[in-house]
Structure 1
Amino acid sequence: MNKPHVLNELVESKDKGEQKPVTPRAAEQDKSATPSANRLPRQLDDSHMPKDFSISWDSYKRGGTDHFLSQKPAHLKGHSMKGFEDEYVNIIDYIIRITHRIWEEGDIGYIYDTYSHDCNVWDDVGLHVGRDRVVAGTARTLNAYPDLRILGDEVIWAGDENVGFHSSHRSYIMGTNTGFSEFGPATNKPVRFMCIANCVMLENEIFYEHVMHNTASLIQQLGFNVFDVARETMEKHGADKLPRDFISSEPFRVPGQGKPAMLALEKGAKLDIRQFIKAFYQNVWNRRMLRSLTDFCSENILYQGPTERTYQGLGNYKSWILSLLSMFPDLTFSVDDIYWMGNDASGFLVSARWSAQGTHLGNGVYGKPTGKEIKLVGISQFRIQDGLIQQEWSIFNEFGVITQLVS
Structure 2
Amino acid sequence: NCVSLGNDIFLEHVLYNTSAMLQQLGVGLWEEAGRLAADPPAGWPRSAEIWNQLRSAGSPERPLSEADPVEGFDPDAFAQIIHNNIWNGDRSAIAENYAPGLPFEGTTERLFTGTEAYHAYVGELRAAFPDLRLQVDEVYWMGNDADGWLISTRWSAEGTHSGGGLYREPTGNACQIWGITQWRVKDGRIEQEWQLFNEFDLMMQIAKARRVRELPEL
With normalisation by structure 1, the TM-score equals 0.43
Equivalent pairs: percent with the same residue? 39
| Residue 130 (structure 2) pairs with residue 329 (structure 1) | yes
In structure 2, which of residues 15, 22, 26 is the aligned counterpart of residue 219 of structure 1? Answer: 22
1:117-161 residue CA offsets vs partner (Å, 9 max, x unmatched): xxxxxxxxxxxxxxxxxxxxxxxxxxxxxxxxxxxxxxxxxxxxx
Partner of 1:231: 34
Partner of 2:194: 393
Between structure 1 and structure 2, the one with the greater Rg is 1
Partners of 1:217 and 1:403 in 2: CA distance = 15
Partner of 2:60: none
* Contact in 2 for aligned 1:231/1:403 (Cα 8 Å): yes
Partner of 1:275: 77
* Paired residue type of 2:118: Y
Partners of 2:79 and 2:8 in 1: CA distance = 29
Which gives a bigger RCO, structure 1 or 2 (Cα 8 Å, sep 6+)? 2
| Residue 62 (structure 2) pairs with residue 294 (structure 1) | no
| Residue 166 (structure 2) pairs with residue 365 (structure 1) | yes
Give the number of aligned pairs.
186
Partner of 1:285: 87
Partners of 1:243 and 1:210 in 2: CA distance = 18
Go from structure 1 to structure 2 and tell me whether the alpha carbon gap of 1:391 and 1:203 turns closer, same or farther (over 3 Å shift): same
Partners of 1:406 and 1:203 in 2: CA distance = 44
The DSSP-based 3-state class of the residue aligned with 2:179 is: strand
Q: Which runs of 5+ in 2 are unaligned?
A: 50-70, 209-218
Alignment of 1:73-112 (within 5 A): none
Partner of 2:109: 308
Structure 1 position 202, deviation (Å) = 3.3
With normalisation by structure 2, the TM-score equals 0.79
* Contact in 2 for aligned 1:335/1:354 (Cα 8 Å): yes
1:237-288 residue CA offsets vs partner (Å, 9 max, x unmatched): 289567779xxxxxxxxxxxxxxxxxxxxxxx932211111110112221x2
Partners of 1:209 and 1:273 in 2: CA distance = 21
In structure 1, which of residues 320, 342, 350 is the aligned counterpart of residue 143 of structure 2? Answer: 342
Partners of 2:5 and 2:15 in 1: CA distance = 22
* Contact in 1 for aligned 2:105/2:111 (Cα 8 Å): yes
Partners of 1:209 and 1:300 in 2: CA distance = 32
Partner of 1:37: none
Partners of 1:243 and 1:290 in 2: CA distance = 32
The DSSP-based 3-state class of the residue aligned with 2:39 is: helix
Structure 1 position 362, deviation (Å) = 1.1
Partner of 2:4: 201
The DSSP-based 3-state class of the residue aligned with 1:213 is: coil
* Contact in 2 for aligned 1:381/1:394 (Cα 8 Å): yes
1:170-229 residue CA offsets vs partner (Å, 9 max, x unmatched): xxxxxxxxxxxxxxxxxxxxxxxxxxxx12233454322111111001111111111111
Structure 1 position 302, deviation (Å) = 1.3
Structure 1 position 342, deviation (Å) = 1.0
Partner of 1:93: none
When the two chains are superposed, the root-mean-square deviation of aligned CA atoms in Å is: 2.0
Partners of 1:358 and 1:302 in 2: CA distance = 27
Bigger helix fraction? 2
Partners of 1:296 and 1:402 in 2: CA distance = 31
| Residue 180 (structure 2) pairs with residue 382 (structure 1) | no
* Paired residue type of 2:73: L
Partners of 1:278 and 1:373 in 2: CA distance = 24
Q: Which runs of 5+ in 1 are unaligned?
A: 1-197, 246-268
* Paired residue type of 2:75: I
Partners of 2:169 and 2:202 in 1: CA distance = 14
Partners of 2:18 and 2:125 in 1: CA distance = 19
* Contact in 2 for aligned 1:199/1:210 (Cα 8 Å): yes
* Paired residue type of 2:128: M
Give 4+ residue runs of structure 1 displaced > 4 Å after superposition.
238-245
